């Protein structure tokens, strides 16, 4: 079954066409990578699914429902979570408080929020940092905190935009493990420049160039 679908979508910015008549379908349970050179339209394409970008024409669906005009916060309620929606971690709040901001969108009551916060921090390996201020975490850990916030939103589709950018090689390896774990309970759509990561994680790869999908398939 198609989880997220795009039908003949385009997005124009003044004279520029960022996405040009693209159709795209992602199956439930899939880990999909979108690759392509800078400016290919990858962020614009996934933005149509997260709701950050409204297509100039065409249709976006989620579980068969038309979501083309749905604002991104409503899409979060459907389970579409884009890590950039939470990129702005609050540096002066603790990690646990940051994750609680996300968790309270899903849970009612302090106790349940607390359980969700601990579970999300545990999944990304930040339990020991729960009471530390987010702003003093090393960069790689801040990115993990963003993922914890996304997980607290209980995604059905988690969209990650260049998640390994700026991570050290050892951090990339553990990030791949983390995504594999997430993929057991959610579909994952990932924009990624690191081909090793793409080949390790993706079941299918979509290649974009100049606003179009030029190839799609499974890594061999």
Judged by beta carbon, residue 22 or residue 121, the one nearer ligand ATP is 22
* Smallest distance, ligand ATP to C-beta of residue 202, A: 16
Contacts with ligand ATP, residue ranges (CB under 6 A): 13, 16, 18, 36, 38-44
Candidates 140, 126, 125, 138; CA nearest to 95 is: 126
* Smallest distance, ligand ATP to C-beta of residue 182, A: 22
Cα-based angle 126, 127, 132 (whole degrees, multiple of 5): 75
Cα 195 from Cα 162, distance rounded (Å): 11
Judged by beta carbon, residue 129 or residue 192, the one nearer ligand ATP is 192
Judged by beta carbon, residue 40 or residue 121, the one nearer ligand ATP is 40
Backbone φ and ψ for 207, nearest 5 degrees, come out as: -105, 125
Judged by beta carbon, residue 41 or residue 148, the one nearer ligand ATP is 41
**61-79: b or e for each residue (b if 16 or more CB lie within 10 Å)?**
bbeeeebbebebeebbebb
**What are the structure tokens assigned to 121, written together?**
């921090």
* Smallest distance, ligand ATP to C-beta of residue 211, A: 7
* Smallest distance, ligand ATP to C-beta of residue 61, A: 20
């Amino acid at each position: 079954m198609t989880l997220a679908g795009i039908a003949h979508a385009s997005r124009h910015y003044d004279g520029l066409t960022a996405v040009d008549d693209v159709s795209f379908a992602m199956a439930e349970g899939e880990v999909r990578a979108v690759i392509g050179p800078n400016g290919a339209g990858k962020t614009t394409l996934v933005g149509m699914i997260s709701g950050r970008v409204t297509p100039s024409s065409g249709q976006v669906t989620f579980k068969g429902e038309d979501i083309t005009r749905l604002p991104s916060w409503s899409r979060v309620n459907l389970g579409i979570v884009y890590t950039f929606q939470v990129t702005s971690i609050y540096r002066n709040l603790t990690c646990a408080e940051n994750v609680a901001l996300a968790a309270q969108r899903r849970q009612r009551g302090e106790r349940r929020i607390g359980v969700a916060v601990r579970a999300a921090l545990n999944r990304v390996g930040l339990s020991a940092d729960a009471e530390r201020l987010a702003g003093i975490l090393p960069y790689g850990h801040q990115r993990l905190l963003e993922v914890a916030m996304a997980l607290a939103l209980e995604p059905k589709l988690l969209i990650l935009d260049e998640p390994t950018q700026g991570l050290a090689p050892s951090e990339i390896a553990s990030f791949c493990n983390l995504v594999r774990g997430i993929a057991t309970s959610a579909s994952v759509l990932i924009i990624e420049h690191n081909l090793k990561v793409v080949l390790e994680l993706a079941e299918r790869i979509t290649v974009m160039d100049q606003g179009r999908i030029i190839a799609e398939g499974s890594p061999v």
